[in-house]
Amino acid sequence: MAALITLLPGDGIGPDVTASARQVLDAVAERYGHDFSYREALIGGAAIDEIGNPLPDETIEACEAADAVFLGAVGGPRWSDPNAAIRPEQGLLELRSILGVYANLRPVRIYPELAGASPLRAELLDGVDLIVVRELTGGIYFGEKTRTSDSASDLCEYTSGEIERIVRVAARLAEGRRGKLCSVDKANVLETSRLWRDVTNRLLGEEFPGLEVETLLVDAAAMHLLSRPAEFDVIVTENMFGDILTDEASMLAGSLGMLPSASLGDSRAGLYEPIHGSAPDIAGQGIANPCAAIASAAMLLRHSLGLEDEASSVESAIADTISGGARTADILAEGETRVSTDQMTAEIIRCLS
């Protein structure tokens, strides 16, 4: 098949890991007879530096014309002043809204060989295979904001329709997995969470009566992610809670550098990115872990291009590479040999079936 993929390398290690993802996509195209073309555009701090806008019109155009969009990372200390009128993250938030990608899928898979990289005891990690479905275009990140010299406010707002569509995504995923769905809210305090719980309970009862459903307050969910992570299958939650919980869940895998994400809407043209940040302290040094970016490319193949065999091949190649002992600095244990970003990428390509 032919596909146009827009690449947004962004800031810090974003260009490093985006290059790795592209190499793997090119290898997939060659081995399976596809034709992938690319268009590169600016976002985040790089866009601010060049034209003063974190999401240029040219970038929006390139993303809207693509079959899928791949993002490296945005942000860094150069643009970290919280009082700045223009910030890199604004570009990413606006892009998510423009593309209508309201469902953020963040799978957490544990590679047995990396159990020692996690701060949790190895026995707690046995059997961990979960996915967090985070609502991505509503809530406090997108609500009205006010600021005076001595006060500030951020409005958290959800509609029933926004809640219904994200819960349906999560429930359908759960139906295809182990049939377990956990909804996370803060209904003991927040009105938005009370609406979330009411809508979720009604929809699941009407449309997905066969699912095993658990409801947790977000603070309890944070605790149980560390005390019983293997019991979770699919977790669905609102924007800010999902942002925090998925970063916590990344520690189950031992490193942010291992976990991918896909942001999907009602069209097939999704937005794919590793969940890690821009890590500017190691940018350009050839030591960043490309696994999360490459796994995000696998999700791109699956969800936007409909290439399940190719996606599974990439995921298997990552697993085989880890099993074979390749380790970047973030997942390196004592006595193991460190490989570079390029070496890890090349090994994954070699393991492609």
Q: To the nearest whole number, what is the mean pLDDT of the chain? A: 95
Q: Taking residues 124-143, what's their average pLDDT?
A: 94
Per-residue pLDDT at 82 exceeds 80? no
Tell me the two tokens of residue 54: 């974190």
Q: Which of 141, 158, 233, 330 is catalytic?
A: 141
pLDDT digits (tens, 9 = 90+) for 237-263: 999 999 999 889 888 988 889 999 999
Cβ-contact 5, 67 below 8 angstroms: yes
The helix/strand/coil state of 138 is coil
Residue of 154, 247, 320, 342 with catalytic role: 247
Burial call 190-222: b when 16+ CB within 10 Å, e when fewer: bebbebbbebbeebbeeebeebebbbbbbeebb
243 catalytically annotated: yes
Question: What is the rounded CA–CA span in Å between residue 326 and residue 323?
Answer: 8
Catalytic residue among 81, 126, 198, 219: 219
User: What pLDDT sits at residue 334?
Assistant: 80
pLDDT band, very low/low/confident/very high, at 115 (cuts 50, 70, 90): confident
Check pLDDT > 80 for residue 300. Answer: yes
Q: For residues 258-269, give the mean pLDDT.
A: 93
In the predicted structure, residue 130 carries a pLDDT above the cut 80: yes
In contact, 69 and 99? CB cutoff 8 Å: yes
| Known active-site residue 150 | no
- Contacts within 8 Å (CB) and 24+ apart, 293-296: 293/17, 293/18, 293/20, 293/21, 293/72, 293/260, 294/20, 294/21, 294/24, 294/260, 294/318, 294/345, 294/348, 295/258, 295/259, 295/260, 296/21, 296/70, 296/260, 296/261, 296/262, 296/272
Taking 90 as the threshold, does the pLDDT of residue 151 lie above it?
Answer: yes
pLDDT score, position 340:
98
Q: How confident is the model at residue 335 (pLDDT cuts 50, 70, 90)?
A: confident
In a 3-state reduction of DSSP, which class is residue 38?
strand
Banded model confidence at residue 283, pLDDT cuts 50, 70, 90 = very high
Which of the four pLDDT bands, split at 50, 70 and 90, describes residue 116? confident
Q: Over range 131-135, report the average pLDDT.
A: 97
What is the spatial distance between Cα 240 and Cα 261, in angstroms, rounded to a whole number?
Answer: 16
- Whole-number percent of the chain with pLDDT over 90: 88
Query: Among residues 16, 186, 272, 330, which one is catalytic?
Result: 186
The pLDDT of 174-195, averaged and rounded, is 98
- At residue 275, the pLDDT reads 92
CB 331 within 8 A of CB 255: yes
Owner of token pair 């999704």: 270
Q: Is 141 a catalytic residue?
A: yes
Domains of the chain with bracketed CATH: 1-107+258-353 (3.40.718.10), 119-252 (3.40.718.10)
